[in-house]
Structure 1
Amino acid sequence: MNLESYKKQALQKQKEHRKFLETLKKKPPKNLDYMVQETHDQVFEKIDCLQCANCCKTTGPLYTEKDVERISKHLRMKSADFEAKFLRVDEDNDKVLQNLPCFFLNQDNTCSIYDVRPKACREYPHTDRKKIYQINHLMIQNTVICPAAFEFVEKMMDNLNK
């Protein structure tokens, strides 16, 4: 998987993707949620996250209080100790990782806390979400990071332009 090639394509197509996603927002097809789920499934039949893990290497998820409690409990740490060791507060006042790539990313691109990973990680790249047009800005950002998000938008465009 050539991440540079995906990123380059995504940047070149941002305007086109943004325009397409805006049309979904203005005039969503009746069966949009169904189409989104079907397209998501098709994309992930072909793309294996373990071959990439670019999200874990380049972007840090937001950690909710529930995430912190669940993960620190799993690691048998106090929440405050977990936060001090791994997290920082960013400019938006969100708890995020101190460093990238993610500390919990293993050499083989698996996650050492997969079963208790943050909600943001479980939902990424948000290509199976209902009312997808509510996160257009996020989807555009994700196409540059995640080959699956890029392929998702491309496939949605193909499916709707048939």
Structure 2
Amino acid sequence: MSKILYDNWKENSKEYKSNNKDLYKALRKKKKLDDEFHELDALVFDEMDCLECANCCKTTSPIFQQSDIERVAKALKMKVPEFIDQYLHIDEDHDYVLNSAPCPFLGYDNKCIVYKNRPTACREYPHTNRKRMHQILNKTFKNAEICPAVYHILERMKERER
């Protein structure tokens, strides 16, 4: 990832939604929002390497569905209750999440030690190439504060809106 792209994100991503209300309103009205997100997702991820950042793994927890818990526990050769006791708790939304950040499965090289078995939420993050982006615009703007790629996707959309 270009250091300039990363530094630009770090400086400007705080309170992204509240600082970009006009962009949020414009995107809510777009008819082909999915197409635009998918195009920019491909372009931005050609320029950035998640392994150089891993901020998502360092600062937030994915939601663990039951199938994720079973899959990761098996990969770690643990029994499900043992895995839950050691790594997870139930949050205020009644979802299983990690006990701490950074993620205990994040290696020193920013690689995931359970990558092939990682939770679905990790597989899909940062959710910029999914369908029905209108439904997750709030989450997308929040993710711009966590993920430099999301920030740059939204910034490029902002440029197109000018």
Q: What's the counterpart of residue 133 of structure 1?
A: 134
1:28 to 23, 27, 30: 30
Contact 2:72–2:114 (CA under 8 A) maintained in structure 1: yes
Aligned length: 159
| Structure 1 residue 36, shift from structure 2 partner | 1.4
Q: Aligned partners of 1:142 and 1:47: how far apart in 2?
A: 16
Q: What's the counterpart of residue 53 of structure 2?
A: 52
| Structure 1 residue 151, shift from structure 2 partner | 0.3
Post-superposition CA distance 1:123-147 (Å, at most 9, x none)? 1111112121211111111111110
Q: Aligned partners of 2:15 and 2:141: how far apart in 1?
A: 12
| Structure 1 residue 99, shift from structure 2 partner | 1.1
1:103 counterpart SS class: coil
Identity %: 40
Q: Aligned partners of 2:62 and 2:84: how far apart in 1?
A: 14
Q: What's the counterpart of residue 159 of structure 2?
A: 158
One-letter amino acid of the structure 2 residue matched with residue 23 of structure 1: A
Q: What's the counterpart of residue 115 of structure 1?
A: 116
Q: Aligned partners of 2:142 and 2:18: how far apart in 1?
A: 12
Q: 1:18 to 1:70 in 2, by over 3 A?
A: farther
Q: Aligned partners of 1:14 and 1:75: how far apart in 2?
A: 38
Structure 1 alignment gaps of length 5 or more: none
1:6 to 9, 34, 50: 9
Instruction: Give the TM-score normalised by the residue count of structure 2.
Output: 0.89
Q: Aligned partners of 1:32 and 1:93: how far apart in 2?
A: 31
Q: 1:115 to 1:150 in 2, by over 3 A?
A: same
| Structure 1 residue 13, shift from structure 2 partner | 4.8
Q: Aligned partners of 2:15 and 2:84: how far apart in 1?
A: 38
1:72 correspondence with 2:98: no
1:60 counterpart SS class: coil
| Structure 1 residue 160, shift from structure 2 partner | 4.4
Contact 1:7–1:143 (CA under 8 A) maintained in structure 2: no
Q: Aligned partners of 1:117 and 1:88: how far apart in 2?
A: 17
Q: Aligned partners of 1:32 and 1:39: how far apart in 2?
A: 11
| Structure 1 residue 16, shift from structure 2 partner | 4.8
Q: Aligned partners of 2:121 and 2:82: how far apart in 1?
A: 21
Q: Aligned partners of 1:123 and 1:67: how far apart in 2?
A: 13
Between 9-18 and 93-102, report the one with greater CA deviation: 9-18
Instruction: Give the TM-score normalised by the residue count of structure 1.
Output: 0.89
